Amino acid sequence: MPHFPAPIESRLPTVGTTIFTVMSRLAQECGAINLSQGFPDFNAEDVLFERVAHWMRAGFNQYAPLAGCLPLREAIVRKVEGLYGTRYDVEHEVTVTAGATQALFTAVSALVHAGDEVIVFEPVYDSYGPAIELAGGTVIRMQLRAPDYRPDWVSVAAAIGPRTRMIMINSPHNPTATVWSADDLAQLAALTRNTGIVVVSDEVYEHIVFDGAVHQSCAAHPELAARSIVVSSFGKTYHITGWKVGYVVAPRELMAEFRKVHQFNVFTVNTPVQLALADYMADAGRHLQLSAFYQAKRDYFRAGLSGARFELLPSGGTYFQLARYGAISDQPDGVFCDWLTREAGVAAIPVSAFFADGRDEGVIRFCFAKNESTLAAACERLQKLR
């Protein structure tokens, strides 16, 4: 086996394998039910697969335009305008991406310079920090605290300074399942007014909000829309996370910079899949019904754990459920998740993995984007824990 002949000075010396990969691999090794990584165990509708095959057979198998296939960009413009009232220019303000993670990385790479500061809200999705660090920026972490995980805008105001280049937000929020309010966006708008701060708004769970709540998109807030790169995900919306297709909308000045990087780190995205998604989006019900679809799964999972020794925290959106396990164990959350996978046969994610300092609040994350039979089997095992 060959070995590199010199020491490597890592640009990400503290980064290892993501917790999602670790727990999914452990679940597979142990034959455990995998409620850790956030992906469904059910398929999209057959018609979507049929449309992909149609466009493949029709010969649309070469490079798409850099910004994405025009029919898909047009469908995105119609959807965003219908939901949020803002009409983005199809030529200059919409770009199809190879998933949301690529979109987030590209936005940071395009707009953050060495020495810039980027505010994030922690617990934070694990790709934000490395993207900022690779761009030479400094991560400024605002704390969201259990059980409600609401942003503290007084602390955010104090953190904003002359080097603040970007604020990255995520609602509905992974991993906490918190949904930001209209007041939260108003506070953000007030704090960024008359500044050059860019907002990157990670809205991949935009269609998964519960209990009659309405997703508050930066695209719907005129003041924020003018300074925001809004990121969404077809994978989350249509149960096709492995296809890795998403999109961004942004004012043309920001999008021009975004595309400068996009053309070199991706260039373009799978052509027949784009065209199939454009066809599939013609029925708006396919994304409008998603909240009810996942709320039923949330309620089924929570009901299945009634009487169990977990304390279930509120789940206002996404397909995640946080739980305290203190009545079962006083182990650190990572140790508990390892034990839960090996001994109880159910895999979850320790929320400490979403904190840079590994802060352990005794909270774990379950994913309920699963068939009811999967959730029932998991609940049966979790009910036995005493």
Q: Each residue of 244-257: pLDDT tens digit?
A: 999 999 999 999 99
Share of the chain residues as helix, strand and coil, in percent rounded to the nearest 5: 40, 15, 45
pLDDT at 147: 86
pLDDT at 97: 98
* Nearest partner of 167 among 197, 137, 195, judged by Cα: 197
Segment 105-131 shows an average pLDDT of 97
Kindly list the structural domains of the chain, giving each domain's residue range(s) and its CATH number in brackets, ordered by start: 19-44+288-383 (3.90.1150.10), 47-284 (3.40.640.10)
> Distance between CA atoms of 179 and 209, rounded to whole angstroms?
7
Question: If phi over 0 gives left and psi between -120 and 50 gives alpha, with beta otherwise, what is residue 171?
Answer: beta
pLDDT at 1: 86
**How many percent of the chain have pLDDT more than 90?**
94
**Which pLDDT band holds residue 384 (cuts at 50, 70, 90)?**
very high
**How many percent of the chain have pLDDT more than 70?**
100
- Determine contact, residues 202/125, Cβ cutoff 8 Å: yes
Q: What is the per-residue pLDDT across 49-75, written as a single tens digit (0 to 9) for each? A: 999 999 999 999 999 999 999 999 999
Residue 3, pLDDT > 90, answer: no
pLDDT at 381: 97
Residue 13 or 166, more confident = 166
On the 0-12 / 13-18 / 19+ scale of CB atoms within 10 A, 58 is exposed
Residue 135, pLDDT > 90, answer: yes
Segment 139-164 shows an average pLDDT of 95
Q: Which residue type does 11 have? A: R
Q: How far apart are the first and last CA of the chain?
A: 48
Segment 277-287 shows an average pLDDT of 96
**Which pLDDT band holds residue 108 (cuts at 50, 70, 90)?**
very high
**Which pLDDT band holds residue 233 (cuts at 50, 70, 90)?**
very high
**Which pLDDT band holds residue 16 (cuts at 50, 70, 90)?**
confident
Give the other-Cβ count within 10 Å of 188's Cβ.
25
**Which pLDDT band holds residue 15 (cuts at 50, 70, 90)?**
confident
* Nearest partner of 178 among 186, 187, 190, 169, judged by Cα: 169
Phi/psi of residue 288, nearest 5 degrees: -70, -25
Question: If phi over 0 gives left and psi between -120 and 50 gives alpha, with beta otherwise, what is residue 310?
Answer: beta
Distance of CA 328 to the CA centre of its chain: 30
pLDDT at 386: 82
Mean pLDDT over the full length of the chain: 96
Segment 349-363 shows an average pLDDT of 95
Residue 105, pLDDT > 90, answer: yes
Determine how β-strand 320-324 pairs with β-strand 311-312: antiparallel
Segment 289-310 shows an average pLDDT of 97
pLDDT at 59: 98
Segment 96-115 shows an average pLDDT of 98
Q: Which residue type does 297 have? A: K
Residue 377, pLDDT > 90, answer: yes
pLDDT at 17: 84
Residue 117, pLDDT > 90, answer: yes
